[in-house]
């Protein structure tokens, strides 16, 4: 199955849709100037285990890099994903606060 990721700025989220147009997953965000905070990733249970979360993560990070944005990864999924994708470190700002 193939998925397409698009930005839905009116909803402040990126959406991954399958070939039929069903929403398979989303990444929500808040944009302030040139800083984008990714706040939550959600994959519909029907589509779990198909790489939708990783597809969304790569798409949102590529979009941020292409637009010259600074990323604040609030979403735990995206933060963890970024830990294994150092190619995005130059655009990521991390908190010095320890998460429990």
**68: domain CATH number?**
3.40.630.30
| Domain span holding position 42 | 4-91
Model confidence at 84: pLDDT above 60: yes
Residue 98: predicted pLDDT = 58
| 85: in domain | yes
| 96: in domain | no
Model confidence at 17: pLDDT above 70: yes
Mean per-residue pLDDT of the chain: 94
- pLDDT band for 26, please (50, 70, 90 cuts): very high
41: left (phi over 0), alpha (psi -120 to 50) or beta: beta
Q: What long-range pairs does 26-34 form, CB within 8 A, spacing at least 24?
A: 26/56, 27/56, 27/57, 27/60, 27/75, 27/78, 29/60, 34/68, 34/69, 34/70
- pLDDT band for 32, please (50, 70, 90 cuts): very high
Model confidence at 69: pLDDT above 60: yes
| 26: in domain | yes
| 100: in domain | no
Can you give the pTM of this predicted structure?
Answer: 0.91
| 10: in domain | yes
| 99: in domain | no
The count of domains in the chain is: 1
| 97: in domain | no
């Amino acid at each position: 199955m193939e998925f397409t990721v698009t930005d839905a700025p009116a909803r402040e989220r990126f959406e991954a849709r399958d070939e039929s147009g069903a929403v398979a997953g989303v990444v929500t965000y808040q944009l302030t100037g040139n800083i984008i905070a990714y706040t939550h990733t959600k994959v519909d249970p029907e589509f779990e285990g198909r790489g939708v979360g990783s597809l969304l993560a790569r798409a949102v990070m590529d979009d941020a890099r292409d637009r010259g944005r600074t990323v604040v990864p609030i979403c735990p999924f995206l933060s963890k994903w970024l830990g294994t994708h150092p190619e995005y470190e130059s655009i990521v700002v991390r908190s010095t606060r320890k998460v429990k």
